[in-house]
Amino acid sequence: MYYNNGQTYTVTTIGQFAFNDYDQVTSVTLPETITTIAQYGFDATLLTELVIPNSVTQIGSKAFEYSMLKKITLGSGIVNIDGLAFDGCSELTDVTTLATTPYAISANTFPANVKANVTLHVPAQSVEAYKSATNWGGFKAYAAISDTPGTSTIVDMIENGGLVYKLDHDNLTAKLAAAYKIKASFNVAGYSGAVVVPETVEANEKTYTVTSLEAEAFYQMEPVTIKLPETLLTVGWETFWAIPSLENLVFPNSVETIEDGCVWGCKAITEITLGSGMKTLGGKSSSSGYCFGSLDALTNITSLATTPPTATATTFQPQVKANATLTVPAGTVEAYKAAPNWDGFKEYIEMTNPGTGVDTIDAAGTMTVRYFTLQGMEITNPAEGQIVIEIRNGKSIKTVFRK
36 beta partners: 13, 58
**Residue 41's pLDDT is what?**
93
Residue 158 to residue 235: CA distance in whole angstroms = 19
* For residues 226-240, average pLDDT: 96
Q: How many CB atoms lie within 10 A of CB 114?
A: 23
Q: 3-class SS at 402? A: strand
Assess contact for 225 and 384: CB atoms under 8 A.
yes
Rounded distance between C-alpha atoms, residue 302 and residue 325, angstroms: 8
Judged against a pLDDT cut of 80, whether residue 376 lies above it is answered with no
Q: Counting runs of H as helices and runs of E as strands, what totals does the chain give?
A: 4, 35
Report residue 113: phi and psi, to 5°.
-70, -25
Sequence-separated (6 or more) residues with CB below 8 Å from residue 232 = 197, 210, 211, 212, 213, 251, 252, 254, 255
In sequence order, the 6+-apart residues with CB closer than 8 A to the CB of 237 are 215, 216, 259, 260, 261, 262, 282, 285
Nearest residue to 390 (alpha-carbon basis) of 370, 375, 374, 373: 370
Residue 49 to residue 89: CA distance in whole angstroms:
12
The neighbour count for residue 180, using CB atoms within 10 Å, is 15
Q: Does residue 67 have a pLDDT over 80? A: yes
> Greater confidence, 281 or 161?
281
- The Cα–Cα gap between 357 and 327 comes to 9
pTM, entire model = 0.56
Helix (H) or strand (E) run with residue 144 in it: strand 141-144
Higher model confidence: residue 107 or residue 146?
Answer: 107
Residue 102 — very low, low, confident or very high, per pLDDT cuts 50/70/90?
Answer: very high
